[in-house]
Structure formats: structure tokens, C-alpha cells
Structure 1
Amino acid sequence: MLIHITPRFYTGNYAIPLQLVDVTVEPLGLVLRDGVDLVMRQPFPNKRIYVASRKAGRKAMNGLLIDTGTARVKEFEVITRWAVFADDVVTHRVKHVVLDDEFDAVSTEMALWHAMCESLGGWESRMPALPANASPASHMPRMAIMPEDRDQRTGDVVDKLNGAGMLTERLEVFTMPTIQPERLQNRRMDHRLPQLQDAFMIPRDQAGQRAAA
């Protein structure tokens, strides 16, 4: 199974010193550290969005790819830690729930769920029902620094604040459909998708045991 995740931080209107610390994926036992496995990138025209990417090459890629082989994962949690203002570490926890088992890939990038024309693959829509007024920009998981960001969201989000009113932890639940693995290698659709050779490999026995636990 291919799992595409996009741990991201949205700074909004605030110019803050920001640094990625690490990304943990459970129950897969994957722990990735900034500067060793990861790097913080800005793959979008909106430079207020920072994304964790694999430390490979110089191109700003959109997120991380995980390969569990034949093991299927129905639920997993991604815990991302970011350092703001140099010393303050904030935590973003996202529980991902897979809605079906029709295909062998999932992605938090909702643009990949849409129906596509023949030149982009000819795939049918995999978009489930979403809350009213939801869009990828408002619904996809992201961390922020101020609670006002919650007003722009449509997902299942709970924020914890410190005494100064800044976010210290955000908890989200994100449901997503399976998609065809080929969508994740569609360079015509998105040339910033991480490539298969840059996937973090989970040993088959380990992935199967942890997914079933």
C-alpha cells in the first residue's frame, strides 16, 4: 500500500521563525527527523505553507510517500512536531481513517481524489461527501500558530492553547478514500508529488503486524 501524507504548517499572516522537528507515523513505527530524513519545503505558490518532505534533491516536493508493500492500513496517526520562535515546540496529531479497501493507495492531497480527464488518467471521482462549504484548502490537515485558523477549517479539529493564546497542540481526524496507485505517479497532474524511489519502505512483516495490532 502506498501512503502519501503532507504534514504542513500554515503561518497565515504571521512572520514567525519556523523549523520542522520530526514526523512519527503510528502504528508503523516510522520516526523521521529533520535534517536527517526530512527537510521543510515550500512547494506551493502560497509561501505561507510549509510541508515536510524527504531530504532528497533540491526540488520542493509535496509531502512524503510511505510504502507498506502488501500490508493494508485502515487507520494510522501522523504526529508532526514544529519549533516556533526557536524554542517552543508545537505538536500536530492527525488520525487518518481509510474509508474503503478498493484500491492500494491513499493520499491526504485531496486534489488527487477528483475525477480526471483522459489526458490526466481518465479516473473517476473518489471524492466522498464533505461538509458544506468544504474545500481542500479548508479541509486538509494543517498546523497553525493562532486559534483564528480554526475559523477557516471545516474538518474535525480540536486545538489546545497556552496562556498567551497560541496553539501548542492540534488534534484532527481526517477520513480519506483509497485511490489508484497510479495517481501518485501522475507527473502531469502534479510534478511535485514524491516519487516512488523516494518512498520510505516499511518491512512487510513489520507493516503487517503493526497494521493488524
Structure 2
Amino acid sequence: MYIHLTPSFFLNFANVSIELVDVQIPELDILLQNDREITVRFPSPNKRIHYVCRKKGRRGVQGILLNTDKPVSDITVITRWNVQGSLTVHRVHMHIEGTDDAATDCIHLWMGEASKPFGVKTPACAKEWIPAACQPRMTVTAADRLSGRETAIWRKVDPRGIIREQTEFFTAATVEPERLQRDRSWTDRLPDFDDAFPCRVCEYPDTVKPVPHYPGVAVCTLQEQVALIADDLTHEGMQDAFEQIVKPVLEDVADKCPVFFTNTNNLMNAVNRYSDRFRALAEQEKAFFRRQVSIPLFEVIV
């Protein structure tokens, strides 16, 4: 399966220094390092956008291409940058929808083409997305480029307001491999198939996966989730179950997982990894806990 990814940085300041460190995708067992396998170039007319691409020749290429040994639907793209001499991490939990033999995170490539037999591949959740506003992209501060997907992004900043960690959930689409060929004016800056990095799909315990038929993914604080579960169980007359089963387990992960993505396995990943009290529960109690944290949460827009 070919996967086209476009890790990038939107630099809106002339007096801020940035440097690519590396790109890692644990589910594909690959680590690409700056000035070895990859580098930064400027293929877009907007020269404020720094694109990661394969270190080959001098041509500016938009993104990197991976060739996996089998299909994959959920990956974690971790891009690290040095910003003003300190590390900044951009983590994208990417869910890939579709059944084609290739995929891309480049939103404008999902659209149909009149001159080619390519239909619209845009996922249902992305029908209203504007590419310039919704493409996953790192910035120095959150105000530099507010995303059209802000509800699915959380950030940690330093005292100067510089983002030091940005984590987001993003739904990408599969496409026909032919759609990624460099035979049209708007695809001539894509990576060549011969330059794809070979990858092996493997297990990664922190892979974030949406629940089946998920009603959307958004950031939620653990504190808010605790309050919701407490209210539900109290209303059902099961306050003891909350105090004895749910609350102690969520206390175990409070430091490691202060926020999580709703309608995914994100919170359960943290529980499985960090909660000794969850591991000590009886199987029936574990099942009860899983049901409580797996109840779908809906985002209400008014």
C-alpha cells in the first residue's frame, strides 16, 4: 500500500529559527532522520510552508511516499522540530478511510477530477473541510494558523507561547495509486513512486483507533470525563461502583493522560499501559469499566 504524507511547518516569523529533527511512524517501524533520509524543501508557492521530503536531488517535493507490506488503517505520524533551539513534537493520529491501494493526507487530492476517472474520495467527516485551514501542519504559536479542526487538536506551550507539543486526530482517505502520479500540473511536485520508503506494518500499543461508526472525534479532558461518568452512575444508583472501580483507575492515568480523543481507544490505551489498579480488577469489573469509558460522546454545536 502506498501512503503519501505531508509533514510540514508553517513559519510566519522571519526571526524564529526552525530545523527538522526526524519523522517517525511506529506502526510502520520507520524512523527518517533529517539530512540523512529526509530534508526540508519549499515546493509550494507559499514559501512560509516547509515541507518534509526525501533527501534526493535539489527539486522541492511535497511530502514523502511510503510503501507498506500490507494495508494499514491507523498510524501515528510523529514529526520533531527544533524551534528556537528547543524540541517541538507534532503528533498526528491518522485514521485512513477507504479500500483503495494508496492513501494520502493531502486534502485537495481527495477531490474528483473531470479529466480523469477519479471520483470524490473525501471522508464523510471531512466534507466541509477547507484544505488550507484543515491540513495537519505545525506552527510556532497556535494563533499563527488556527485550524478548521481545532476541536480535534490539543497543544502544550512554553512560557513564551511557543508550541512544544501538538497532538491531533486526522481522518485521511484512500485513493487510486494512479492519482498520485506526477502527470498533471497540480501533482508534479508529488514524490515519485521510485522514491517510496519500504515499510513493515507492526503493532504499536499507543495506536489511536476510532470506535466503529464513531460520531466524530474531539479532545476531552479526563476531568470532564470523570464528571460525566460520576453523574451517570450516580443517577443510576451505582455511586459505589464509580468510587470503587472507575475513579481509582482514572486516577492512575491522570498524569499520563490529562486529555484524550473521544470515541476512540485513546483513553483505554492509557489505562492498559499505566493503571495497576485496572490490571488488578476481576474480569467482570474490567468489562464494566470498559463500558463506562466507551460510551459515545457527541459534540454539540450551537
Is the TM-score greater than 0.5? yes
Post-superposition shift, 1:152? 4.0
Task: State the partner residue of 2:146.
Answer: 151
Q: Which amino acid aligns with 1:153?
A: G
CA distance in 2, matches of 1:143, 1:177: 21
**1:137-181, CA deviations, whole angstroms, 9 ceiling, x for partnerless residues?**
111100001121363432521111111221101001110221101
Post-superposition shift, 1:62? 0.3
**1:15-63, CA deviations, whole angstroms, 9 ceiling, x for partnerless residues?**
4211111000121110000000011111101011001100011100000
In the alignment, structure 1 segments of 5+ residues that lack a partner are none
Counterpart of 2:109 in 1: which secondary structure? helix
CA distance in 2, matches of 1:95, 1:132: 19
Task: State the partner residue of 2:83.
Answer: 84
- For normalisation by structure 1, the TM-score amounts to 0.89
Q: 1:150 to 1:17 in 2, by over 3 A?
A: closer
Asked if 1:127 is matched to 2:122, the reply is yes
Post-superposition shift, 1:122? 2.5
Asked if 1:172 is matched to 2:168, the reply is yes
Q: Which amino acid aligns with 2:39?
A: V
Task: State the partner residue of 1:45.
Answer: 45
RMSD (Å) for aligned C-alpha atoms: 2.0
Number of positions where the alignment pairs a residue of Structure 1 with one of Structure 2: 204
Counterpart of 1:95 in 2: which secondary structure? strand
- More helix by percentage: 2
Q: Which amino acid aligns with 2:175?
A: I
Post-superposition shift, 1:126? 0.8
Q: Which amino acid aligns with 2:190?
A: L
Q: Is the 8 A contact 1:150 1:157 kept in 2?
A: no
Post-superposition shift, 1:14? 5.0
Q: Is the 8 A contact 1:131 1:154 kept in 2?
A: no
Q: Percent identity?
A: 33
